Amino acid sequence: MNQTTTKAEQRMPQEPAEENEQTDHATERERAPIVVASQIHKTFRSGEIEVHALRGVDLTIGTGEMVAIVGPSGCGKTTLLNTLSGLDSFDGGEVTIEGTSLAKMNDRRRTDYRARRMGFVFQSFNLLPVISAVENVEMPLLVSGVRPARARKRALESLDSVGLADRASHRPMQLSGGQNQRVTIARALVNHPALVWADEPTGNLDVGSSTEVLALMQRLNKERGQTFVIVTHDPQVAALCERIVRMEDGEIVDDE
Ligand SMILES: Nc1ncnc2c1ncn2[C@@H]1O[C@H](COP(=O)(O)OP(=O)(O)OP(=O)(O)O)[C@@H](O)[C@H]1O
Ligand SMILES: [Mg+2]
């Protein structure tokens, strides 16, 4: 394979091999894995009550995949995203991201890794209401030490990529729900993450806004090869993903 690699391919390592004759065989799952989870268990305990939220989940996500995670409320989807992304701990099993086990990273390294390589579109990571859209978007860059002028420039580019360049100085209150969701996406993408985790990214949106947000995620997936893992109840979202992982009661029951 390497011997037949052309100079053009060497110059463009990110280019998806779509027109390549290998495509039929090189299914999504055979791409280099970015996340490998094996036998993940997670139990929540509060007082007498134990909830076994993840019961031995095995999941491999290939670089550049766009995966939907679906299943009934309470089946463990958010818990799965939290544990796979290193936001929350787990009780058993192993998660490897880009070849490194999460368990082998200390807190600081995990945080640093997240800031550099991951983006989050989570409803619990709300925008700060008292600062403008561009200030919200540049926040992760400032946190990871990017100089302010450079952070501002990249934040404006990111807002532009979600079609909100002209709303940069607006505060969340002065934007619609769909626009705020796009600001959240601009913030998640500002560091050009290899891996984006989204939990119900279209949850609070009307049909028009959710179509826009979806089109944006799909474009970034295709053009930049960014990997998206999207928890969703929305059939429109799942239909756009090349792979649908179905969970029930803490387990993966279907993967197509
Ligand atoms: N912090 C917690 N403490 C105790 N139990 C929890 C906690 N977080 C989640 N759970 C329980 O774990 C199970 C899985 O929850 P999770 O939030 O992952 O579900 P979900 O599939 O994301 O559901 P939804 O579609 O409603 O968002 C649920 O039974 C929930 O009650
Ligand atoms: Mg959830």
Pocket test for ligand 1, best of 77, 80, 88, 197 (most atoms within 8 A of CB): 77
**From the alpha carbon of 200, which atom of ligand 1 is closest?**
27
**Atom 17 (ligand 1): residue with closest C-alpha?**
78
**Atom 12 (ligand 1): residue with closest C-alpha?**
53
**Atom 18 (ligand 1): residue with closest C-alpha?**
76
Question: Is the confidence at residue 13, as pLDDT, over 50?
Answer: no
CA-to-CA dists, residue 79 to 9, 44, 46, 252, angstroms: 39, 10, 16, 13
Q: Quote the pLDDT of residue 216.
A: 84
Q: What is the mean pLDDT of residues 135-159?
A: 94
Return the CATH architecture of domain 62-255: 3-Layer(aba) Sandwich (3.40)
Q: How far is the CA of 251 from the centre of ligand 1 (A)?
A: 13
Query: What does the pLDDT look like over 113-144, one tens digit per residue?
Result: 888 899 998 876 789 999 999 999 999 899 88
Q: Which residue has the higher pLDDT, 67 or 203?
A: 67
Under 8 Å between Cβ of 178 and 213:
yes
Pocket test for ligand 1, best of 78, 87, 253 (most atoms within 8 A of CB): 78
Q: Quote the pLDDT of residue 22.
A: 41
- Residue boundaries of the structural domains of the chain: 62-255
Q: What is the mean pLDDT of residues 22-46?
A: 76
Q: Which amino acid is at 80?
A: L
Q: What is the mean pLDDT of residues 103-114?
A: 88
Q: Quote the pLDDT of residue 30.
A: 55
At which residue do the structure tokens 């200390």 appear?
106
Q: Quote the pLDDT of residue 7.
A: 42
Query: What does the pLDDT look like over 188-238, one tens digit per residue?
Result: 989 889 999 999 988 877 787 788 788 888 988 999 899 999 999 888 888
Q: Torsion-angle region of residue 249: left (phi > 0), alpha (psi -120 to 50) or beta?
A: left
Question: Is the confidence at residue 4, as pLDDT, over 70?
Answer: no
Q: Burial letters for 225-236: b for 16+ Cβ neighbours within 10 Å, e otherwise?
A: bbbbbbbbebee
The three-state secondary structure class of 66 is strand
Pocket test for ligand 1, best of 41, 42, 43, 44 (most atoms within 8 A of CB): 44
Q: Quote the pLDDT of residue 53.
A: 97
The whole-chain average pLDDT of the chain stands at 86
At which residue do the structure tokens 């049909």 appear?
207
Among residues 35, 16, 9, the alpha carbon closest in space to that of 223 is found at: 16
Percentage above 70 pLDDT, the chain: 88
